[in-house]
Structure 1
């Protein structure tokens, strides 16, 4: 039997979905059948989801998924907020940016140094940004460590990275697929399931659980000065702050945090805590700030957030497993959020087991992601709109100078991005960033 004789659903959902984009393009040139199948919307919807980490339920069908994929590969990067220490990445020599010397940039400004780099994700730390491109490279700019109050230079021999610079991994086969940022360090996951972290973009170190272990990891998150990683078995590991004097970070002696009733499927980190979602929909908070104490007595620093648990609509007494693709757990600074079926539940890291979530109610908008700075917050809608609320935070709300004396209690659209389709956001202490593409490129639904 030739491959063309296979049933269409087998070709589409069991073969073509497994192919990379380059293979899809090559296969589409072989015959009319594969041209039609390789341009199927479901194939490109899947590739948008996998390659750009976008939720499947977003309202993008009217644009055409392949057209959207092509445009996402040419995303624009925007940063705004505190700029007195040049953390936003704008080149001082760029004469087109007349106000790059301003202490605050209060509306989104394109970081042109990353144009054409294929950026697919952006995260913010205490004084820096990291961005991931679709080739597996990580870019960093700003300060990884705070400036010394007297010398005005970075601590631990740090210097300001004035423009986006590639993180220098020690091996050639490192292709990163996920990044996260703590206050003054970052952590990344590569295609081989290996974990890397650093407090200096020129010195990433590999995190190794056990020299003889074949354990692989599927998710990472960062806290103020530590990290957490999730294995393929649904087990949670803690990772200390990167030690500049060590070539690798060994954590083979650290016990694994497990849930006896159900494995973990998602994790997210606030400054001091790890929030974890189990496959049965239960939500736990691990107070991991006191790293050594937690390792010795994890039960003392663990609580279940019963009011955040994802309940099943089934009347059966048998637990129904949650669909992790329809749920997004996110956290940063002192808050965390759970997005499920268009609803958003926000919690604070200091809440106890009786903590009741704040429900984010935004009329006429379906939220797919929430991010947090120290005092300003942002939400991304399925229509590619960015809303912000909270304190002015040196202009990090992105709403302009007119809001400098206003505590924005309700989410408000960032109007300067109305002509852009925003698909990724990352907020830091008092600075913000996002990725977007022009809306006019997505008007027509057609095969490209």
Structure 2
């Protein structure tokens, strides 16, 4: 038997995952067959997760995983926007800037390789390739804290990145406005109301003994938490109110009395958190209704024959967005608090966000002057939500981006931005009033309100008139330069515009953005330099 007689599945599924990358590359240089095998996108996607803890949930990327694997050896963290609450993680900021930094500025975290970056209401959370969790800013900036207080106080600011010492490696993080959820390597759900005292939800509803009790996604809404299980069930709870909020407050007060659970930050920027278990059951929301068969999705017969089930959720202000394996988009609410939760509430099917015929009939695609055409097939594969906005989108060169909000119902038409369509968008981060879109070729586009520089398009007074992020008239520019009260807020940006990562004294070569995040009035991105070659 010759080596080429071995089925390709054996190489990709059994042998390559165990081999050193350099050995796989050496094999790829021996023949065209092995060159093709060693360039397999799924193999490199799996290696990105296995070797760097970079999960496929980060983006909707479909190609370029080998180059991304190379770049993940030396990723760089950039942030911009409001400087309030220490959220930019830098003690020293560029001179001449007041309320915020309007362009990307690098945050360095020594000894770490950051592969995931998530923005909270007034903070950032990052995960490195080992599963360590880093935080900076303020989890809850609604009140001040004392320098003498530890991170058991939710108002405590981390002016620089701090690592939280967790029991197990962290896989994913999701941030609400004033709280954070994390899913660890053991599929345990952690909730942070303060960075010093995270609690694990201890319940048989999440014991991982069946698909119904095994979580696959933890998603923070504006003020509630939600969990999606393997079976497609959704659980919800409120970390600061209701029964779980009551238990938390009692245990938090008891730890205050003990006096040994303050989680003081160390000189080397470590938060020795006091992790504990909260025994309570979340609420289970009703399952999705029977849904119509979607036409022109491009799905195979095998995929179409599978049972319809929820595979993703996205949470925002008092509502949930759900996505099925067939491409149905649904909305659920009201989830403002435990008392308002109604077990008779049902998911609303959003046909105008799901069906090709409905999307193609949208005025944006029927305007002959706009020159915008809908694809011949459509399957929504990803959703994002934050504050009052949600997005449902497909992927590939004909990607369609559909936007809605908390008021969207079964009859609502999506908002369609022509400049975002057919752009190979792989991620859509959302802030309070500013938004972004990341493309497969590493370009980050932003639009919306200035929000203390959260668009990242540059210093308004240094941009040419009419440039996105700048002023529209000479009078505005002069007023801003001469004002003693601070710069005039530039006009909102309607058309998605590119962010550049070459500011500062050492701009370097062309940058490739592979992940982006936004919340509140700030934005962040993970970037690699394409001109620098790192060996595999």
Q: Same fold (TM over 0.5)?
A: yes
1:186 match: 180
Deviation at 1:372, TM superposition (A): 1.1
The alignment status of 1:234 with 2:279, answered yes or no, reads no
1:273 to 310, 319, 342: 319
Q: Structure 1: any 5+ residue segments left out of the alignment? A: 314-321
CA separation of 1:136 and 1:349: change in aligned 2, threshold 3 A: same
Structure 1 residues 166 and 354: alpha-carbon distance in aligned structure 2, compared to 1, 3 A threshold:
same
Alignment partner, residue 335 of structure 1: 389
Stretch moving more, 150-159 or 196-205: 150-159
Instruction: Give the TM-score taking structure 2 as reference length.
Output: 0.70
1:304/1:104 CA distance change after superposition, 3 Å: same
Aligned partners of 2:235 and 2:282 also within 8 Å? no
Q: CA separation in 2, counterparts of 1:347 and 1:104?
A: 28
Q: CA deviation at 1:300?
A: 3.0
Q: Which residue of 1 aligns with 2:405?
A: 348
SS at match of 1:126: coil
- Please give the alpha-carbon distance, in whole angstroms, between the structure 2 residues aligned to 1:384 and 1:413: 10
Q: Does 1:47 align with 2:47?
A: yes
2:342 aligned with 1:300, yes or no?
no
Matches within 5 A, 1:77-96: 77-92=77-92
C-alpha deviation, 1:323, in angstroms: 11
Distance 1:294 1:265, change over 3 A: farther
> Structure 1 pair 59/135, CA: closer, same or farther in 2 (3 Å)?
same
Partner in structure 1 of residue 522 of structure 2: 431
Question: Distance in 2 between the 1:429 and 1:281 partners?
Answer: 29
Across the two proteins, how many residue pairs are aligned to each other? 418
For 1:26 and 1:75, locate their aligned partners in 2 and report how far apart those are by CA, in whole Å. Answer: 19
Query: Within 5 A, what are the aligned runs for 1:409-420?
Result: 409-416=494-501, 419-420=510-511
Distance 2:152 2:349 in 1: 38
Is 1:366 aligned to residue 424 of structure 2?
Answer: yes
Radius of gyration: which is bigger? 2
Deviations 1:402-446 (A, max 9, x none): 13421101111113458211111111111111111012136xxx9
Task: Map 1:200-219; keep pairs closer than 5 Å.
Answer: 200-210=194-204, 213=207, 214=209, 215-219=213-217
**Pairwise CA distance, 1:11:** 2.1
- 1:33 and 1:381 map into 2 onto residues whose CA distance is 29
For the Cα contact (< 8 Å) 1:49–1:56, is it kept in 2? no
Contact 2:233–2:284 under 8 Å retained in 1:
no
Counterparts of 2:501 and 2:24, CA distance in 1: 41
CA distance in 2 between counterparts of 1:224 and 1:288 reads 12
Q: Which residue pairs with 2:370 in the alignment?
A: none
Deviations 1:260-283 (A, max 9, x none): 543210101112211111223222
Query: Could you say if the C-alpha distance between residues 183 and 85 of structure 1 is closer, same or farther in structure 2, counting changes exceeding 3 Å?
Result: same
Judged with a 3 Å threshold, the aligned counterparts in structure 2 of structure 1 residues 331 and 206 are, in CA distance, closer, same or farther, namely same
Give the match's secondary structure for 2:85: coil
Equivalent residue, structure 2, for 1:13: 12
Paired position in structure 2 for 1:319: none
State the Cα RMSD in Å.
3.5
- Structure 2 distance, partners of 1:258, 1:200, is 32
- Does residue 532 of structure 2 align to residue 441 of structure 1? yes
Which structure features the higher share of strand residues? 1
After TM superposition, give the deviation of residue 290 of structure 1 in Å: 2.7
| CA pair 308-251 structure 1, distance change in 2 beyond 3 A | farther
Residue aligning to 1:316: none
Q: Is the 8 A contact 2:286 2:346 kept in 1?
A: no
| TM-superposed deviation, 1:98 | 4.2
Distance change in 2, residues 1:312/1:441 (3 Å): farther
The CA deviation at 1:340 is: 0.5
Offset of residue 302 of structure 1 = 3.8
